[in-house]
Every structure is written in structure tokens, then in C-alpha cells.
């Protein structure tokens, strides 16, 4: 599908479908009012008859509306006018996309992008409308058989135009379109990788996809560290997890260095656990299949790099994905085992299922040593406790740098890919003391609570020298059995804001 931004009158569009909003209490938007006027009250009539009450997310498709040049006019319910906020805007656009998918329309012009949202501009409107639409149109059919795939009907919609009120709004709309297209590409890649099952999406497969990314984008350079190289670096924590699996681990490094030469990069470090059975501290069978999503932090690194390469953003970013499985064999980690991390900190592994922090600590040390990043952000499906704390709405955010936390929270609000900050107070350091090693990989005191904070506290031991943030995406990286592509939009928005701020300075 191709997207466009235009500025024109709703009644004059020669397209298969024109989309206009109506608030509840039969109160039409300007575009709906225009159509109503030229059609001698076609919209007022259906509302009076009770076929469209303006409830948020409801839709009604009208055919051959008099006075217009369009085959169809779609009414989209917007709810109460005074409650119309960012979430409602996304819902209305998603509803329009779902209804559009049910029609035979090959092109459409939407006037939902005219709707004013407090503190937002037309760049935001177009961007969010496009992202909401792509969310609806995404499918994952890679694992279906040949027959099924042959019968898949591609969407009929080929051209989708978001209208803006004035010609002077076009540049803002175009910017929103370009940014959102790149974000959507990144999100789709993160979803594809996340949805792939563990037997196909192995560490070796991810490494191969990283090489492909470098082949597609000349700005991206890939370096893959294998087991021997990790041994040389002393990554005893990461390698201890990998030992329990026959799949060789990979440390995937992707460099995108298009910013000023002397500027230190932003490091994005992702947990790429391609399947987490828990190891000897094995997980219960119910929903264990979902542990194929334990590489979604890594997938978000792939997605973010794709998006910024598409946008040719003038920034320095290095993506690092620690990829391995957490399984069980005769060599697997055992509770009580003690390993030495790359940082030299020894770790007592009291629960082999707390493996994410074991692979991340070495990846974070590598980022610090190799790149001295200006900022380091890790993304990980780290703890079930984070799902308990925040559910699937917000990712958990931890940071040792308040300005970085603020920038990430703001990027989350702006993109709709939100995070919520949890504390990283030194009071929690006590909890990971070990009887025998420098630290333990789970809490040994302080009770069983605050699991997401304990995970972050562990990682913080390895990131003291960096401006660092940790996103626990355990509740947000997938919902139901589907990868969400989060937090790609948050990260891309953060980098866009960073690049824009630099331009001002």
C-alpha cells in the first residue's frame, strides 16, 4: 500500500472511499458537515435513523452519496468531542482501517487527520494515523503451508491519502508520513522476528538477518562475535547460559554511524533469547511457547536500526544483540553455579531462569568497553514481575540518568509506545548479595517482591560508568500470542528527538 498527504475538499474526491468522523450526539466534524450539505442531509438522516450514533470506533459505509464524487463515504464514530484525545484518535483510525479492509475500495482519502488534538500537530496526526493503519494491516503468514499462502488475498486498498486542512500543513504532514513509514517498517521487522518460532529463529538465524540488514542498507555494518571471540573477552555469564543448548550463541553488533565523526554513539542492547525454557529451573508447561518471544528486545534493535537507516538520520547508533537459547542439557547451568562475567564480577546463579540478566550484563560490558557510548539503552523481556506491575500498557523504565529517563518517557508519550519509571534506588542493592560470589542473579533477601526492580538492580551493577536506561518489555513486547513490535516506535522517536535537538543547538 502507498500513502499520501493532500489537502482538498471531501466532496470533490474521486476515490473509492472518503472517510469522515462524527462525534456522538449527532455532531458531525467539518468534513462530515460538508458531505451532509452537498448530499442534502445524507449523514444527518442515517444518524437520525439510529444507524450511526458516533460511538468511538463504530463505522458505517454509505454508498452513492449524492453530491460527492466518491463511491463510498465511511462514517467513523469519534465518541464525545470533549474526550477526543490521543488514544481516541488512534482508535478511530484503527477502526477506519479495519472497516476499509472489509470493503473492495482500492483508494481512500481520510479526513480524520483534520481532527485537532491538544498539543499535537498535523505531523503527529498523519504519523499516528499511518501507524494505526499499518497495525491493522499487519499479517504474519510466513509459517503457513503453500496452499494457505496461495489463497491469501492481498489487501485491495492500494492508495491511502491522509488529508490536512491547509496547503501550508502539507510539509508537516509529509514529515509525519516519512517518519511513520520508517517506523512502521521497523515495527513490522520486529514483529516478524518475534513471531517466528524458536526452531527457525535461532541465534544463527538472527546473525544471518543482521548480515542481510547490512546488505540492504549500506549505512549499516555488521559484526558477529562467535563463541570463541566471546571466550576471549571473558563473557563467562553469557556463555554459561549458552552452554545448555546445542545452538551456538552469537553476539550481533550492528553499527550505524551517520552522525558527527567524533560523537560517541547511542548503544542499543537487546536481549535476544531465542527460546527460554528456564534451564534446570524449568518453567511450567503452560504458555511456555510464548518464550519464543524472549528475543523481542533484540528484535527491537533490528527494527530501530532499520527505521533510522530508512530515515537516513544523522546519528551514531550501535545495536548489540545477545543471542542464545536457555535450555537444558548435561552442561547447562545448575543452581549454585558461580560464573565470572566480562566485568570481572562473579555471579552466583541461584535460578537458571533468571538468564536474561546473565547474557545482558556481558553485552552491556561489551558496549561500554568497545564503544564508550554517550547513552546506553537496553531492551529486555526480563521479568514476569514487570507484567504483574504494569500489565501490557507500559514498559518498565529504569535509569541512572534522570534526563535520559525524561527523554524516553516523553518519546513514549509522543509515539504512544509508553513507558513508566520504576525506582533504581541503592536500597535494593542489598537484595542481590550472595553468600559466595560478588552478587546473586536473584534476590537473596528483602522478600520476593519487586522482581522487575531486582532485575534492573542487577544490570545496574554493570552500567555504573554509563548513562544508562533499561526497558523491561516483558508485558509489552507481545500480547495474546502476537508480537507487538514495541518498543521500536519509542526508540525511533527518542532518536528523532535527539537528532532534532542537536540541529537546534
The residues that touch ligand BES, with contacts defined as CB under 6 A, are: 276, 294, 351, 353-356, 381-385, 387, 442, 451, 474
SS3 483: strand
In whole angstroms, the minimum distance from the beta carbon of 276 to Zn ion comes to 4
Q: Which one of residues 325, 353, 362, 368 is an interface residue with Mn ion (CB under 5 A)?
A: 353
Do 149 and 142 form a contact (C-beta atoms < 8 A)?
Answer: no
Toward ligand BES, which CB reaches closer, 302 or 478? 478
In whole angstroms, the minimum distance from the beta carbon of 358 to Zn ion comes to 10
Task: Out of 90, 227, 258, 283, pick the active-site residue.
Answer: 283
**Distances in Å between the alpha carbon of 403 and those of 178, 235, 313, 364, 473?**
28, 31, 22, 20, 21
Non-local CB neighbours of 324 within 8 Å, separated by 6+ positions: 203, 238, 241, 242, 245, 247, 249, 250, 272, 273, 274, 359
**Distances in Å between the alpha carbon of 195 and those of 73, 138, 227?**
36, 12, 26
SS3 19: strand
| Position of minimal CB gap to ligand BES | 384
Using the rule CB under 5 A, give the single segment among 164-172, 174-182, 355-363, 411-419 that binds Mn ion: 355-363
The residues that touch Zn ion, with contacts defined as CB under 5 A, are: 273, 276, 294, 356
Does 71 help bind Mn ion (rule: CB under 5 A)?
no
The C-alpha atoms of residue 223 and residue 376 are separated, in whole angstroms, by 19
Host H or E run for residue 301? helix 296-311
In whole angstroms, the minimum distance from the beta carbon of 371 to ligand BES comes to 26
Toward ligand BES, which CB reaches closer, 177 or 380? 380
Indicate which of Mn ion, Zn ion, ligand BES, none lies near residue 320 (CB less than 5 to 8 Å, by partner kind). Answer: none
- Is 283 among the catalytic positions? yes
Binding mask 231-270 for Mn ion (x = CB under 5 A): ----------------------------------------
Task: Out of 91, 175, 271, 357, pick the active-site residue.
Answer: 357
Smallest CA-to-CA distance from 299 within 476, 499, 94 is with 476
Smallest CA-to-CA distance from 242 within 362, 350, 343, 346 is with 362
Which CB contacts under 8 angstroms, 24+ apart, belong to 287-291? 289/481, 290/478, 290/481, 291/198
Toward Mn ion, which CB reaches closer, 169 or 294? 294
Do 96 and 138 form a contact (C-beta atoms < 8 A)?
Answer: no
Strands 107-110 and 159-163: parallel
In whole angstroms, the minimum distance from the beta carbon of 247 to ligand BES comes to 17
Toward Mn ion, which CB reaches closer, 409 or 454? 454
| Position of minimal CB gap to Zn ion | 276
Q: Which of residues 271-300 bind Mn ion (CB under 5 A)?
A: 276
- Is 357 among the catalytic positions? yes
Toward Zn ion, which CB reaches closer, 88 or 358? 358
DSSP strand E in 191-261: where?
220-225, 250-257
What cell does 101 get? 479492509
Smallest CA-to-CA distance from 362 within 425, 243, 269, 466 is with 269
The distance from CA 408 to its chain's CA centroid, rounded to whole angstroms, is 13
The distance from CA 392 to its chain's CA centroid, rounded to whole angstroms, is 12
| Torsion angle in degrees (nearest 10) through CA of 489, 363, 285, 205 | 70
Indicate which of Zn ion, Mn ion, ligand BES, none lies near residue 309 (CB less than 5 to 8 Å, by partner kind). Answer: none
Smallest CA-to-CA distance from 371 within 225, 238, 253 is with 253
In whole angstroms, the minimum distance from the beta carbon of 140 to Zn ion comes to 22
Do 176 and 125 form a contact (C-beta atoms < 8 A)?
Answer: yes
Toward ligand BES, which CB reaches closer, 161 or 381? 381
Binding site for Mn ion (CB under 5 A): 276, 353, 355
Among all residues, which ones are annotated catalytic?
283, 357
Amino acid at each position: 500500500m502507498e500513502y499520501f498527504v493532500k489537502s482538498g475538499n471531501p466532496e470533490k474526491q474521486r476515490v473509492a472511499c472518503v472517510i469522515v468522523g462524527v462525534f456522538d450526539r449527532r455532531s458531525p466534524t467539518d468534513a462530515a458537515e460538508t458531505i451532509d450539505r452537498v448530499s442534502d442531509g445524507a449523514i444527518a438522516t442515517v444518524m437520525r435513523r439510529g444507524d450511526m450514533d458516533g460511538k468511538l470506533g463504530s463505522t458505517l459505509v454509505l454508498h452513492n452519496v449524492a453530491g460527492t464524487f466518491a463511491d463510498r463515504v465511511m462514517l467513523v464514530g469519534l465518541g464525545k468531542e470533549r474526550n477526543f484525545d490521543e488514544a481516541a484518535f488512534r482508535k478511530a483510525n484503527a477502526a477506519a482501517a479495519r472497516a476499509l479492509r472489509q470493503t473492495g475500495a482500492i483508494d481512500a482519502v481520510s479526513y480524520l487527520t483534520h481532527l485537532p488534538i491538544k498539543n499535537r500537530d498535523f505531523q503527529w496526526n498523519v504519523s499516528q494515523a499511518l501507524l494505526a493503519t499499518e497495525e491493522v494491516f499487519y499479517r504474519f503468514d510466513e509459517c503457513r503451508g503453500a496452499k494457505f499462502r496461495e489463497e491469501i488475498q492481498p489487501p485491495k486498498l492500494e492508495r491511502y491519502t491522509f488529508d490536512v486542512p491547509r496547503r501550508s500543513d502539507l510539509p508537516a504532514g509529509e514529515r509525519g508520513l516519512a517518519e511513520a513509514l520508517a517506523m512502521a517498517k521497523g515495527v513490522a521487522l520486529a514483529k516478524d522476528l518475534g513471531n517466528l518460532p524458536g526452531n527457525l529463529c535461532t541465534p544463527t538465524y538472527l546473525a544471518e538477518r543482521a548480515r542481510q540488514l547490512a546488505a540492504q542498507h549500506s549505512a549499516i555494518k555488521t559484526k558477529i562475535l562467535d563463541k570463541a571471540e566471546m571466550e576471549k573477552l571473558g563473557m563467562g555469564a553469557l556463555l554459561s547460559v549458552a552452554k545448555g543448548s546445542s545452538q551456538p550463541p552469537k553476539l550481533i553488533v550492528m553499527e550505524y554511524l551517520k552522525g558527527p565523526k567524533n560523537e560517541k554513539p547511542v548503544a542499543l542492547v537487546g536481549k535476544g533469547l531465542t527460546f527460554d525454557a528456564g534451564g534446570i529451573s524449568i518453567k511450567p508447561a503452560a504458555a511456555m511457547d510464548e518464550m519464543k518471544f524472549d528475543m523481542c528486545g533484540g528484535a527491537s534493535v533490528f527494527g530501530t536500526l532499520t527505521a533510522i537507516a530508512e530515515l537516513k538520520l544523522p546519528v551514531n547508533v550501535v545495536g548489540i544483540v545477545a543471542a542464545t537459547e536457555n535450555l537444558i542439557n548435561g552442561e547447562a547451568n545448575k543452581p549454585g553455579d558461580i560464573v565470572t562475567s566480562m566485568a570481572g564480577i562473579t555471579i552466583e546463579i541461584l535460578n537458571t531462569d533468571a538468564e536474561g540478566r546473565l547474557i545482558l550484563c556481558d553485552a552491556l560490558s561489551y558496549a561500554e568497553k568497545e564503544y564508550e557510548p554517550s547513552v546506553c539503552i537496553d531492551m529486555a523481556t526480563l521479568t514476569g514481575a514487570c507484567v504483574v506491575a504494569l500489565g501490557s500498557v507500559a514498559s518498565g523504565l529504569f535509569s541512572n540518568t534522570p534526563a535520559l529517563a525524561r527523554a524516553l518517557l516523553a518519546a513514549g508519550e509522543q509515539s504512544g509506545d509508553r513507558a513508566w519509571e520504576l525506582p533504581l534506588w541503592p536500597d535494593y542493592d542489598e537484595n542481590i548479595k550472595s553468600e559466595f560470589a560478588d552478587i546473586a542473579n536473584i534476590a537473596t533477601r528483602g522478600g520476593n517482591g519487586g522482581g522487575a526492580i531486582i532485575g534492573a538492580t542487577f544490570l545496574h551493577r554493570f552500567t555504573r560508568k554509563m548513562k544508562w536506561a533499561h526497558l523491561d518489555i516483558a508485558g509489552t513486547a507481545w500480547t495474546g500470542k502476537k508480537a507487538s513490535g514495541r518498543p521500536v516506535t519509542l526508540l525511533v522517536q527518542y532518536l528523532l528527538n535527539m537528532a532534532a535537538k542537536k540541529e537546534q543547538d
